């Protein structure tokens, strides 16, 4: 049994959901030095207010909170509290997380991995805290055309389900990332565009690898360095397949012309700033009262009736067939 961490540093990928965080994680995870673990939404939520100012955290209490968090169930990894090397970790919460990443690496057959790749989208929101906890870490802000994000998120059982809500959601999340880019030193954060990743992965991954201080390995393009857990496998059917440039523009046929116009009316400045061509530009007409009424009804029905049922069904399958980690 591994009782100490061999993770030396971290790469935290963040950005608006459905922007390619998992795809990029699977690419970097294919590197021989990297391990891409499932999303770790629990890592900040397991801490308590007093932990932020303390040099030593009650690691066993924190670990038990992690084990109770339903997001840890997604890791499908059995980690009994008795195996936590509390004395070796010396009250360090970052080292506890590194130990967990190490155990996951052992579990999937990459015992020599020394770089933990975390592709949790919300990393972009609390990135300053992550960099304080992990001074050697690097942040990747991945950006995707908001219209592509909208077409990807609306059919799912979580997140916004109308174009108006999707535009607001994308704007909120991109704002976090752009603000972070202005605050962080250039060598701590790098921006990657989803469209570049799928249309020219060779050059994009080559440049990114240099920024991250790792050697580029051709196998990274295969995007097979991460196996989506059962809970999200249906949402990540393209992971493990070579990037397809057509993914970048699928929103053009999946969204209606009116949806595209509404999105551009709400987000045209950000789309323009990020270099995405506009179809309607300043002539885009915003949502009318009728549009807002129809979409409000749809949002209510999806958020309070349809999506909860779909989410519970998916979660039930996870709990029914999961490991004994909980």
Q: pLDDT class for 305, splitting at 50, 70, 90?
A: low
pLDDT at 276: 97
E strand residue ranges, 144-195: 189-193
Which tops the pLDDT comparison, 44 or 230? 44
The pTM assigned to this predicted structure is 0.88
Q: b/e string for 250-287 if b means 16 or more Cβ within 10 A?
A: ebeeebeeebbbbbbbbbbebbeebebeeeeeeebeeb
Which pLDDT value is given to residue 110?
A: 95
pLDDT of residue 3: 47
**Is residue 143 pLDDT above 50, yes or no?**
yes
Tell me if residue 9 falls in helix, strand or coil: strand
- List domains and CATH numbers for the chain: 9-321 (3.40.50.300)
- Those residues whose C-beta lies under 8 Å from the C-beta of residue 52, and which sit 6 or more positions away, are none
Confidence grade of residue 1 (pLDDT, cut at 50, 70, 90) = very low
Tens of pLDDT, residues 55-114: 678 999 999 999 999 889 889 898 999 999 999 998 899 999 999 999 999 999 999 999
* Confidence tier at 235 by pLDDT (50, 70, 90): low
């Amino acid at each position: 049994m591994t009782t100490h961490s061999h993770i030396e540093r971290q790469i935290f990928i963040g950005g608006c959901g459905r922007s390619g965080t998992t795809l990029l994680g699977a690419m970097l995870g294919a590197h021989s030095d990297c391990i891409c673990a499932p999303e770790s939404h629990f890592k900040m939520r397991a801490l308590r207010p007093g932990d932020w100012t303390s040099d030593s955290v009650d690691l066993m209490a924190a670990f038990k909170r992690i084990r109770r968090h339903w997001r840890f169930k997604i890791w499908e990894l059995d980690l009994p509290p008795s195996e936590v090397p509390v004395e070796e970790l010396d009250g360090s919460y970052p080292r506890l997380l590194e130990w967990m990443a190490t155990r996951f690496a052992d579990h999937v057959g990459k015992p020599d991995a020394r770089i933990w790749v975390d592709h949790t989208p919300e990393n972009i929101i609390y990135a300053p805290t992550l960099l304080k906890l992990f001074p050697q870490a690097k942040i990747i802000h991945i950006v995707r055309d908001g219209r592509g994000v909208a077409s990807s998120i609306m059919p799912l059982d979580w997140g916004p389900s109308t174009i108006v809500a999707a535009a607001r959601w994308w704007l909120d999340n991109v704002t976090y990332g752009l603000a972070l880019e202005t605050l962080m030193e250039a060598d701590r954060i790098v921006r990657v565009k989803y469209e570049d990743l799928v249309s020219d992965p060779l050059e994009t991954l080559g440049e990114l690898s240099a920024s991250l201080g790792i050697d580029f390995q051709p196998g990274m393009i295969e995007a097979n360095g991460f196996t989506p857990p059962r809970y999200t496998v249906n949402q990540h059917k393209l992971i493990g397949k070579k990037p397809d440039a057509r993914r970048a523009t699928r929103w053009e046929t999946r969204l209606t012309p009116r949806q595209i116009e509404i999105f551009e009316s709400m987000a045209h400045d950000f789309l323009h700033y990020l270099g995405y061509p506009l179809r309607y530009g300043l002539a885009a007409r915003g949502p009318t009262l009728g549009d807002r009424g129809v979409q409000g009804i749809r949002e209510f029905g999806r958020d309070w009736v349809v999506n909860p049922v779909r989410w519970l069904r998916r979660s039930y399958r996870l709990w029914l067939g999961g490991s004994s980690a909980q």
